Structure 1
């Protein structure tokens, strides 16, 4: 027979579960896209929390004596979900940085597009790389990994049991920044190298044919060559995406370990 009893302690536990899930959903990649309605994200967080509440067997809440004590537990759960989501979301900035470098070299840095994901102006190449990465993320079921990760944290980090280690978080962040710069430049290296070679050729032509306005001609040539190199190097994006997804797994795992 199914037990439908719901005590006040169960309500406290459910609110803590909802806090961790919702804080993760609002910052994690794909789930945190600002063009997704907030009601949809809130409803999704509530649905996952209800399902997870029925799966978890231990509904015990850490002892507290005042409202302030419970508020501190809620804050810890919110920070726990935020750190896990931000650990994965930071890896999305790799393609944005690579796109900005490519835009600057091609000459498209002055062209700003409205990005519905961040609700901010972004370059053409940055938006292109970002949408390709999101599509690959959906194809490879990477969004399921994020859901499994946040669900498994309730086993690894019980409610109210998060212990934040600034040293571990700092070490993980520094290692990520090293890989961040390396992968970004690898992604845009073909465009940067071709633009450097093209600038050298245009410089020689400007000396040999000073009557030709290389400034106006060079901008058009750089855009055509840059887009051509982008088309030829499209095959490297899946490999770069695989490395970025690997970094996401490492960052999420490291963030969870830093709170155990």
Structure 2
């Protein structure tokens, strides 16, 4: 006969695992999209926590002296899950930054649309890069890496074992900001260089043929050249995904290192 009995200690430990996993799923890329049903997120969090509980049940109980002490432990687990998910999620904003620069160079910066995944207004090229990145995350199995990283954090950062080091987390964020700009400009570099050359050509033509309205001609040419370069460089999108995924892994390692 199967014994389904469990102690209060087991319930408390399972709830702490559920808090960390739920907070991670709430902010992690792909899982945190607004068009993902809430019951799907709850199911993913619950069954993932159940699997982790079967593998991670410790020999010693989580000790606390009062309700306030248990509340502090819950908040610590929630913060660990949020920071791990944030480390992965902020890396996806690199493609939105690159898309904004591309649209600004091609004259499409005022053309925005509503992104159904985030319920926010975004640029056309940024939305394109964002959807391609999500498709590559599914195709390459990057979402499995995120759950593997979450499971490994329970070994590196046991339940009620998080020690937040603000200096390490701040250094990780500052280093990310520098990589954020570098990777963003690498993504948009073909469009940026093409429009720069086009501006130089238009400047020469404005001196050679001042009777031509280069402002009206330049607007149309920038859109045409920008879309053409975007189409011709579509083969670079897998490399863009590699840039972002490598940065995502490095950020997760840095954030976990700041909490151990």
Tell me the TM-score normalised to structure 2 length: 0.95
Structure-2 separation of matches of 1:11 and 1:257: 28
Structure-1 separation of matches of 2:60 and 2:82: 23
1:143 corresponds to 2:143: yes
Partner in structure 2 of residue 112 of structure 1: 112
Partner in structure 2 of residue 54 of structure 1: 54
The answer (yes or no) to whether the contact 1:61–1:160 under 8 Å persists in 2 is no
1:33 corresponds to 2:33: yes
* 158-167 or 194-203, larger mean C-alpha shift: 194-203
1:60-209 equivalence runs, <5 A: 60-209=60-209
May I ask how many residue pairs the two structures share in their alignment? 260
Structure-2 separation of matches of 1:57 and 1:41: 23
* 54-63 or 7-16, larger mean C-alpha shift: 54-63
Structure-2 separation of matches of 1:46 and 1:219: 53
| Change in 2 beyond 3 A, CA 1:100/1:59 | farther
Pairwise CA distance, 1:184? 0.6
The answer (yes or no) to whether the contact 1:76–1:162 under 8 Å persists in 2 is yes
Pairwise CA distance, 1:136? 1.1
Structure-2 separation of matches of 1:77 and 1:61: 16
* 206-215 or 37-46, larger mean C-alpha shift: 206-215
The answer (yes or no) to whether the contact 1:9–1:59 under 8 Å persists in 2 is no
| Change in 2 beyond 3 A, CA 1:159/1:5 | same
Pairwise CA distance, 1:99? 0.5
Pairwise CA distance, 1:163? 0.4
1:233 corresponds to 2:236: no
Runs of 4+ in 1 over 6 A off after TM superposition: none
| Change in 2 beyond 3 A, CA 1:130/1:59 | farther
**Secondary structure at 1:113 match in 2:** strand
Partner in structure 1 of residue 251 of structure 2: 251
Structure-1 separation of matches of 2:39 and 2:70: 26
Structure-1 separation of matches of 2:2 and 2:258: 38
Structure-2 separation of matches of 1:223 and 1:215: 13
Structure-2 separation of matches of 1:116 and 1:35: 7
Structure-2 separation of matches of 1:60 and 1:242: 41
Structure-2 separation of matches of 1:223 and 1:156: 50
The answer (yes or no) to whether the contact 2:101–2:188 under 8 Å persists in 1 is yes
The answer (yes or no) to whether the contact 1:61–1:159 under 8 Å persists in 2 is no
The answer (yes or no) to whether the contact 1:21–1:48 under 8 Å persists in 2 is yes
**Secondary structure at 2:111 match in 1:** coil
Structure-2 separation of matches of 1:214 and 1:81: 54
5+ long unaligned stretches in structure 1:
none
Structure-2 separation of matches of 1:129 and 1:66: 49
